[in-house]
Amino acid sequence: MRIGVSTAGSRGDFEPYVALTQGLIDAGHEVVFAAPRDARRLVAGTDAEFVEMDLEVREVLRSEEGRRWLAAGNVEAYLAGIAKMLSEARHTIGASVLAAAEGADVLVTGVNTEDYALAVSQSRGIPIVLGHLTPWLLTDEFPQPLTPMEVPDGVPAEQYHLQTHRVAEDVYWQGKKDDINEFRDSLGLPPAPSAALTWTVDLGLPTLQAFSEQVVPRPHDWAPQNTVTGFWRLPHAVRERVGEAVIPGGLADWLDDGPAPVFLGFGSMPVLDPQKLVDLIVRAAGRTGLRLLVGVGWSDLSGLTGDLPENVRLVGAVDHDWLFPRCRAVVHHGGAGTTAAGLTAGLPTWIYTVFSDQPFWGDRVARLGVGGYANFQEFGLEHLVGVLDRLVGDDLRERAAAIGERLRAEDGVGTAVNLIGKLADRG
């Protein structure tokens, strides 16, 4: 079968779909993958055909303005910037989704392209399945993941949870409905009454929820067609093909030369003042006596390694599936993928949230009893020292190890591939 996959966003948004793509190819399917140019290198590790969107999310995050939004924790400004970027890219997104659908037996779409993909599905008569890396669907069990996790005093929890989903969905739709309906009109379709996320429920469309019930138990009010598959983990072979399995020089020796370190990383979150961050981490290492390994992500920390003590090391891009089992705990920004990697490795976890769904994953970690979370604005010496001391405690380690063992037994990609195959067979 020929399967058209589309997604948009940063590394955390497209990497799981590359994992799914490899699973589909291993099962004998042909895949066309539409995504921003950021994804081209990773998709090249599969045999999928790549359709490039004229869009590069990484550049937004690395821009001076983007770094200011993130450092200030200004959620509204950041999301407004992302919305503006996606709106300006609407023509290339629509054209790419259409190209990926050419000759396809089924469409698979991420949340940032699902309105476009639904329109193509309806105009071309192609079955569609929506993939969600975070639980966006309406439920009374927890808040919409972009909204505050704390229930206001005096408000019933179920009422608050439903309200956050409905309000967030309405705000999301109002900001993009003109772009989507313009695209639908070009396909000869009537305007959409709501976002594809709402139509998922109204039309009974199947969704693949790409996380684990060990971390987010399946809500009681979700329909049967919404399948929780388990996390979609990128195979080592794909990383090898694109050169991401190479271990940075000296890192393995450093890891072997002492106790397992705590990993601190902020993924694709640029750091506004790199020197200040490194100085703070060095002081925390001195206070705790722990070995700290700092993942620099996309931040420019070049030239900062000269005066580091032996128990602090900086590292660039590195395979978390290889590294995390060699660590004793993780501190990170709370992206869904990094959270999944840390929990799968059985590590106590602390999340310093900046924006988006990061507080949701922090709340999940806290509920699991394997760590906690705080806003990145609280990131300071005393707070970090307290977090590090807590993470290396025996109680967190034992609970995290048990959860990791259960997560490693799951096959999220395999479950998703089987369901996609059944959908295509039904037509």
Whether residues 95 and 147 share a domain: the answer is yes
More confident call, 261 vs 65: 261
**69 located within any domain:** no
Whether residues 33 and 144 share a domain: the answer is yes
Q: What digits encode the pLDDT tens for the residues 330-350?
A: 999 999 999 999 999 999 999
What tokens were used for 155?
């408000």
The amino acid occupying position 198 is T
User: In angstroms, rounded to a whole number, what is the distance separating the alpha carbons of residues 228 and 237?
Assistant: 25
Residues 75-103 as b or e (16 or more Cβ within 10 Å = b) = bebbbebbeebbeebbebbbbbbbbbbee
3-class state of residue 413 by DSSP: helix
Number of domains in the chain: 2
Instruction: Please name every residue paired with 371 in a beta bridge, in sequence order, or none if there are none.
Output: 349
Whether residues 210 and 253 share a domain: the answer is no
Share of the chain above pLDDT 90, in %: 74
Whether residues 138 and 269 share a domain: the answer is no
Whether residues 145 and 213 share a domain: the answer is yes
Mean pLDDT of 256-264: 97
Whether residues 194 and 225 share a domain: the answer is yes
Cβ–Cβ < 8 Å for 419, 227: yes
Phi, psi of 295 (to 5 degrees): -85, 125
Q: What digits encode the pLDDT tens for the residues 267-305?
A: 655 566 777 888 999 999 999 999 999 987 655 555 665
Phi, psi of 332 (to 5 degrees): -155, -175
Q: How many CA atoms lie within 13 A of 61 on its CB side?
A: 21
User: In angstroms, rounded to a whole number, what is the distance separating the alpha carbons of residues 374 and 350?
Assistant: 8
The CATH number covering residue 172 comes to 3.40.50.2000
Residue position matching structure tokens 């921003």: 36
Q: Give the model's pLDDT for residue 277.
A: 84
Whether residues 185 and 210 share a domain: the answer is yes
**73 located within any domain:** no
Question: What is the H or E stretch that residue 51 is in?
Answer: strand 49-53
Phi, psi of 263 (to 5 degrees): -90, 130
Q: Give the model's pLDDT for residue 10.
A: 86
Q: What digits encode the pLDDT tens for the residues 242-254?
A: 999 889 889 999 9
Instruction: Please name every residue paired with 263 in a beta bridge, in sequence order, or none if there are none.
Output: 293, 330
Whether residues 140 and 202 share a domain: the answer is yes
Q: Give the model's pLDDT for residue 293.
A: 97
Cβ count near 129 (within 10 Å): 23
**274 located within any domain:** yes
Q: Give the model's pLDDT for residue 56.
A: 81
User: In angstroms, rounded to a whole number, what is the distance separating the alpha carbons of residues 411 and 409?
Assistant: 7
User: In angstroms, rounded to a whole number, what is the distance separating the alpha carbons of residues 419 and 134?
Assistant: 19
Q: Which domain holds residue 112?
A: 2-54+89-231+411-426
The amino acid occupying position 417 is V
**254 located within any domain:** yes
Whether residues 157 and 34 share a domain: the answer is yes
